[in-house]
Structure 1
Amino acid sequence: MMDLPELIILDIGHGNCAIVRDTEGVIVIDSAHGATLIETLAHLSIREISHILISHADEDHIAGIIDILLDRNIKVTNIYINSDAQRKTRTWEALRRAVRDARQRSGTRVVVGLTTELTNQLNVGQVKVEILAPTPELAMSGAGGQDLQGRRLNPNSTSAVIGLVHDSHRVAILAGDIDQVGLNNLLEERSDLKADILVFPHHGGRPGGADSQAFAQQLCDLVQPNLVVFSIGRGRFGNPRQDIVEGVVTSLPTAHILCTQLSSNCADSVPDSEPAHLNALPARGRTSNSCCGGTVSIKIAGNTTTYAAGIAGHQQFIDRVSNPLCRRFKV
């Protein structure tokens, strides 16, 4: 078993999900629909979750949380989420009902307000959990409103951005679905955004009305990660976009780019058999052989944080892909 603390970025198909395992508890960040999260918790013998953090109310970030809250074999102590008065989907209503069930049945504490004010209040061991965005005043306006500069906000503009710091070193940024307006607000609050690992926002999709390549380049220039992860489902929405990947490569020519599943932009077909480089953790694409990086496990160790165990095998897998986006713009 990997030493703690650990960050696990799940292949959950189109959507986001991550698990932080620390010395005093477990944090789950988002989850799309499907059994991958529950299977991973069972694989790791996890039956108690200290915090569930939900970046925003999109279905591909909340649907899998419903099953966790309704599972009587899993205890959830706290759940943190921002309100979204515009959200009227069945999944959002189902999540609200599941939250009520967990609160009434098992005393789950529900905090409506996942903002920068909670930085360093969500730690469950050695890792400092930062909420880098949104600020309280941005969350007060919310989707459909405006920021203090008069820019219109949509749900992605107020998506929570989460940083993980260990030994005074920022190991990772999980950027939710933040768009250009959200990024502008984040930069008005702080500019120290360097991190080893970036889970790229919106699965490599369009960042609102902004220029996609310029957005990707700006974000990567700020974060300067060694590893960029796109959490995607093969064939869904054509992600990651070619102009997004071009922006990433332009900014970070030596960074390792990893998609959880094999994008249809990179290969017309999937391998005939399961790739040998995948680890033993559950991955949504495993049964269909559609994994690329699959589920990624990262040993958190300050400025020596390593994710090297599967990277060499992933690079060899990419060598066999017909036309990988991440190699297309290399010079």
Structure 2
Amino acid sequence: MTGSSLHIRKRPLLVLTCFYGLGIIFGFYFKGSLWWLILGGLTFLVNLIYFIRKGKLQSTLFLLCFVFFGALWYNLHCLPPDSYRHWLDEVVEGQGTVISYPRPGAAGLSFMVDLHRLSRGEQELPGGIRVLLRTKGDAQVLPGTVVGVRGKLSLPRQARNPGEFDYRQYLANGQIFYQLTTQDNGLTVISEGQGVRTWLAREREKIASHLAQIIPLKERGLLLGVLFGDKSGIPDTDYEAYQRAGVVHLFAVSGLHVGFVLGLVWALLSFWEVRPLFRLLLGAGCLTVYFFLVGWTASIVRAIIMALVGLVALTVGKKQDLYTTLALAALIILVANPGELLQTGFQLSFVTTAGLIYLTPWLGNLGLGKILAPAVAAQLAGIPLGAYYFNQISLVAPFLNIIAVGAGGIIVGLAMIGSILYFVWPPLGDPFFLGAGGLLYALSEFILWWGRQEWTGLIVPTPPLALIVILYAFLFLAPHLYNFIPYWRSFFPPVYRQRILTAFIIIGITCFLWPHMGKTQVVFLDVGQGDSIFIKTPGGKTILLDGGGTPGSDYSIGKQVLKPFLRRQGLRKIDLVIMSHSDTDHSEGLLEVIPYFNVGQIIVPPLEQGDKVEEALLQVARKRNIPLNSVTAGQYIQVDDQVRLEVLHPDGERIWHGNNKSLVLKLIYQEAEWLLTGDIENEAIAYLLAQKEDLRADILKLPHHGSISSYSEEFYRQVGPWAVIVSAGINKFNHPHPRVRGYFSERGIPFYLTRDNGAIITWSKGRKIEARTFIPSL
């Protein structure tokens, strides 16, 4: 099969699956609309009438039925039931069955529970919903265990900043809309599971425990990832290196593993003459067992369905059509759960598999050979999605994958043989486990060395969806471009061909750069109860002012919010990092994120002896050879030709402490001005007013999260903003104070609050400043 042999009309299931998927996408962007039901019903009715009168289906209407069905099916499955919303943030009790393997995290364990019953006091709601259960401690539960729970019902965290992982949408795509966080002794085991799935889960845990006794911790984490897709034992830094190297798919159980399971079955059956039907049933049974051991993922379900269809085709003596088989696998998954289409894992699994099937013959004909062509095909198919979701493109993935897939096949084989022998007698499997662990460690170190080299991967800004569509259209047309060359040459003389290509290049570059040309962007990130501001100038200079923080929490603002946001911008370097003052809710995220980026310079207020945060920042600066300078009022920082930062506070003659030590900066770009005030309170505000500073600005970032201790009507009048911004989360300090908010609402001045709106994105081309919120206002 060549790349040019994709005959759509001969594969109706592929067409129907594509239109059904298109309907799911429409359903996602137009959630909760009854029009899908109305339009779908009318289209079906018209199609039925046409069929009755003409004796055949009208193809266009028939395909539209699939579009409407996809949209309707998504809305029926992936929208939260409203009956539970009035119990949010309330303590509830319930009973349910564990349906996933527990995953360890910074705050304890989390796993999915199918609730049979849910109540609050004497009020009771019908069960039948699935929740994410979070609990502290080491709960001994497995899929199939029936548990009693008591805890607070809440919504999962949603994305509140550009680039931040939307955990709420991720869970909703899996038909999970609420999370339940247990209170003290809020989880009790009512009964152990008795089914086959629970028995297999116990055996998986036994294998994991046995591995902990015979191989080191790192190799154990890697081996569990390869064998069962369990990534919890792989350090975050290593996993990121695997992503940069483009081989993270080794830890996604898929076709390689399924192929080896069937290979073992075929090898064992080769000693006897068995009927094809028995071979099919035994292969299907082994794959089902492996599925329960691994759990639901799009990649394993896709691989199993394709393998089963292949077995059926082999049994009945028919040739398997890979495109139709792939479409069937997608359709089964998307009918079971339409939200899977929006999951990164589903998209990468199916797109790379389709690319492997479609592009490999073409690349082979270009001379890449049977070994390199599949690796390059998979890489090309995954590049657009990798850039969109992970902001990186690996330059060494095709070559590393040749080694990784080859060695990975041996590792998977040794691990599976070890698992089978473990069930016979545990020591029998040890040599195979040890061999797999040793080989995996060597492979891992080899890959990590490449993944830690900066030049092996490109960091790119998140491409627009339109560009993703164009790139995949190009990949689809690439095998056919050679056929167009004669027409291209006959219609356009050489001089016109050069002009057309030049025009396309100029248009492409202009479309990519136009949104950023001549524009200064200031983003007030939502970091909860704290401050963090990102600035990008027309010349491409970048500034990070403060980094937020979560005192007393395991949640990392730097890793979970700042780093994804900065990667979304395509950044390896931050030109200027500024710490307004050393309070944890301004500084903690900076200390967490600096090690991941090249930093040009760090700016701080005058240093204070004995300040532990400032000392920690000094150590980081020395370790990474980053210049660190303190500034005072009267100085300015020329960021680029048209943008400068004026320092208004603190002055160098007086010693300031605490919040009043905060840097107050005015960002000026031509006629547009932002006043960024840190956490200054009334003492510092009065001093600023007494100095007769020019405080006028278009945007005022309110001091100290809108606290009453920073309330000053004279200060507000002097600034005269057209809009104010408050960075504050849920807190016990009454931030922002109602009196502060009331002052601006009475005067009709827009009041943006990150707690309500998420990140506030402001920008200007030198005159008027515009603003939008990441979370739309209700």
TM-score over 0.5 for the pair: yes
- Which residue identity is paired with 1:129? L
Tell me the number of residue pairs that the alignment of Structure 1 and Structure 2 aligns: 253
Alpha-carbon distance change, 124 to 28 in structure 1, aligned in 2, over 3 angstroms: farther
CA distance in 1, matches of 2:594, 2:709: 30
CA distance in 2, matches of 1:207, 1:115: 23
Is residue 694 of structure 2 the alignment partner of residue 159 of structure 1?
A: no
In the alignment, which residue of structure 2 is the partner of 1:46? 571
Shift of 1:57: 1.3
Shift of 1:36: 1.3
In the alignment, which residue of structure 2 is the partner of 1:282? none
SS in 2 for 1:303: coil
- Which residue identity is paired with 1:48? K
Task: Output one character per residue of 1:135-176: Cα deviation in whole Å (capped at 9) or x when no partner.
Answer: 2213xx232xxxxxxxxxxx2222111111111x24211111
2:649 to 102, 125, 133: 133
Alpha-carbon distance change, 99 to 294 in structure 1, aligned in 2, over 3 angstroms: same
- Higher RCO structure (Cα 8 Å, ≥6 apart): 1
1:203 to 696, 700, 705: 705
Contact 1:161–1:176, Cα closer than 8 Å, also in 2 = yes
- Which residue identity is paired with 2:562? L
Q: Identity of paired residues, percent?
A: 23
- Which residue identity is paired with 2:714? Q
Alpha-carbon distance change, 96 to 69 in structure 1, aligned in 2, over 3 angstroms: farther
In the alignment, which residue of structure 2 is the partner of 1:287? none
After TM superposition, list the pairs within 5 Å mapping 1:59-208 onto structure 2.
Answer: 59-71=584-596, 74-85=597-608, 88=611, 92=613, 96-105=615-624, 107-111=625-629, 113-119=630-636, 121-138=637-654, 141-143=655-657, 155-167=658-670, 169-207=671-709
- Which residue identity is paired with 1:100? Q
Contact 1:199–1:228, Cα closer than 8 Å, also in 2 = yes
In the alignment, which residue of structure 2 is the partner of 1:14? 529
In the alignment, which residue of structure 2 is the partner of 1:280? none
Shift of 1:32: 1.0
Moved more, 233-242 or 77-86: 77-86
Alpha-carbon distance change, 25 to 247 in structure 1, aligned in 2, over 3 angstroms: same
Alpha-carbon distance change, 85 to 192 in structure 1, aligned in 2, over 3 angstroms: closer
CA distance in 2, matches of 1:193, 1:249: 21
Is residue 728 of structure 2 the alignment partner of residue 299 of structure 1?
A: no
Is residue 734 of structure 2 the alignment partner of residue 238 of structure 1?
A: yes
CA distance in 1, matches of 2:696, 2:572: 33
CA distance in 2, matches of 1:160, 1:239: 20
Task: Output one character per residue of 1:279-303: Cα deviation in whole Å (capped at 9) or x when no partner.
Answer: xxxxxxxxxxxxx211121122222
SS in 2 for 1:27: strand
- Which residue identity is paired with 2:697? A
In the alignment, which residue of structure 1 is the partner of 2:276? none
CA distance in 1, matches of 2:606, 2:724: 29
Contact 1:123–1:129, Cα closer than 8 Å, also in 2 = yes
In the alignment, which residue of structure 1 is the partner of 2:751? 257
CA distance in 1, matches of 2:766, 2:587: 30
Unaligned residue ranges in structure 2 (runs of 5+): 1-511, 550-556
SS in 1 for 2:770: coil
CA distance in 2, matches of 1:233, 1:204: 11
Contact 1:204–1:239, Cα closer than 8 Å, also in 2 = yes
CA distance in 2, matches of 1:52, 1:39: 17
Contact 1:171–1:195, Cα closer than 8 Å, also in 2 = yes
SS in 2 for 1:129: strand
Contact 2:605–2:650, Cα closer than 8 Å, also in 1 = no
- Which residue identity is paired with 2:748? T
CA distance in 2, matches of 1:42, 1:87: 34
Contact 1:7–1:18, Cα closer than 8 Å, also in 2 = yes
Alpha-carbon distance change, 68 to 125 in structure 1, aligned in 2, over 3 angstroms: farther
CA distance in 2, matches of 1:30, 1:222: 25
Contact 2:672–2:768, Cα closer than 8 Å, also in 1 = no
Contact 1:162–1:173, Cα closer than 8 Å, also in 2 = yes
SS in 2 for 1:12: coil
2:743 to 221, 231, 247: 247
SS in 1 for 2:668: strand
SS in 1 for 2:653: helix
Q: What is the alpha-carbon root mean square deviation over aligned residues? A: 2.3
Alpha-carbon distance change, 311 to 75 in structure 1, aligned in 2, over 3 angstroms: closer
CA distance in 1, matches of 2:768, 2:536: 18
Task: Output one character per residue of 1:169-223: Cα deviation in whole Å (capped at 9) or x when no partner.
Answer: 2421111111111112212223421111111010011326xxx4xx2x2222111
SS in 2 for 1:177: coil
Q: Which runs of 4+ in 1 moved over 6 A?
A: none
Shift of 1:20: 0.8
CA distance in 1, matches of 2:682, 2:610: 21
Alpha-carbon distance change, 175 to 160 in structure 1, aligned in 2, over 3 angstroms: same
CA distance in 2, matches of 1:193, 1:157: 17
Contact 1:171–1:302, Cα closer than 8 Å, also in 2 = no
Shift of 1:305: 1.9
Alpha-carbon distance change, 60 to 87 in structure 1, aligned in 2, over 3 angstroms: farther
Contact 2:524–2:760, Cα closer than 8 Å, also in 1 = yes
Unaligned residue ranges in structure 1 (runs of 5+): 144-154, 262-291, 318-331
Shift of 1:255: 0.9
CA distance in 1, matches of 2:680, 2:587: 16
SS in 2 for 1:221: helix
CA distance in 2, matches of 1:178, 1:116: 14
Q: Rg larger in 1 or in 2?
A: 2
- Which residue identity is paired with 2:656? G
- Which residue identity is paired with 1:158? K
Alpha-carbon distance change, 156 to 98 in structure 1, aligned in 2, over 3 angstroms: closer
Alpha-carbon distance change, 128 to 98 in structure 1, aligned in 2, over 3 angstroms: closer
CA distance in 2, matches of 1:242, 1:39: 33
CA distance in 2, matches of 1:310, 1:203: 18
- Which residue identity is paired with 1:102? A
Contact 1:37–1:64, Cα closer than 8 Å, also in 2 = yes
